[in-house]
Amino acid sequence: MSEGLERESERERDPGRGLGLDRRCALVLIDLQRGILGLPLARPGAEVLARGVELARAFRERGLPVVLVRVAWSPDGGDLPGADADRPRAAEPPPPSFSELPPELTGPGDVLITKRHWGAFTGTELDLQLRRRGVDRIVLGGISTSIGVESTARNAWELNYRLVFVEDATADTDAEAHAHTFGKIFPRIGRVSDAAGVLAGLRGVAGGGGGGGR
């Protein structure tokens, strides 16, 4: 049996095997906010949110960091990304309700990050918040796969974080873009799993106090 087939067989027997989840991991969820969950996604936003809620609960129960990232801009739009592109984004910022996080997703002690660009590291304190909590592995999900999630993942990999991607807690408006990212990009920079695999991988992680990885 080839090495790849052996790995696949092991994952079927033990879906959490090989993910390396321990007390130095954190859950990072990208843009699970009202204005983006309401987009016409290839996977229903309600399904992605439900997976995010389930994962966040499991991380909190073990005292592991939960990081909720949202995208928002100033009312005057002065911090919107540049518009010199073939398909520029809207010239005006969306209303404040666009960036609201669903209450069922949030919890005490969560780290909240507001970004102004695609990636969650650019211009934010995400790297500082993770490193000071002793985090070296990120479990990543959110919307959109090929934009905010992939941009964050590429930057995290360049910063030497180890990565686990939760396929069924991630969605895109374009099914082909989602498939390309999960089929071609993510396997080269991390481990691809699903919510059940991550939950299985967390079973051996003892609970601890207060959301720190140390």
The arithmetic mean of pLDDT across residues 88-93, rounded, is: 72
Sign of CA dihedral 18, 164, 68, 34: negative
Cβ neighbours for 213, distance < 8 A, ≥ 6 positions apart: 23, 24, 25, 26, 64, 65, 133, 134, 135, 136
The confidence band for 96, taking pLDDT boundaries of 50, 70 and 90, is: confident
The confidence band for 4, taking pLDDT boundaries of 50, 70 and 90, is: low
Residue of 178, 197, 174, 196 lying closest to 186 (CA atoms): 178
On the question of pLDDT at 3 being above 70, the answer is no
The arithmetic mean of pLDDT across residues 101-113, rounded, is: 97
Of 9-13, 45-49, 131-135, 161-165, the one with minimum mean pLDDT is 9-13
Ramachandran angles phi, psi of 205, nearest 5°? -95, 115
The arithmetic mean of pLDDT across residues 50-59, rounded, is: 98
pLDDT at 214: 40
At 198, list the tokens: 């991550």
What percentage of residues in the chain have a pLDDT greater than 70? 86
Q: Which amino acid is at 67?
A: V
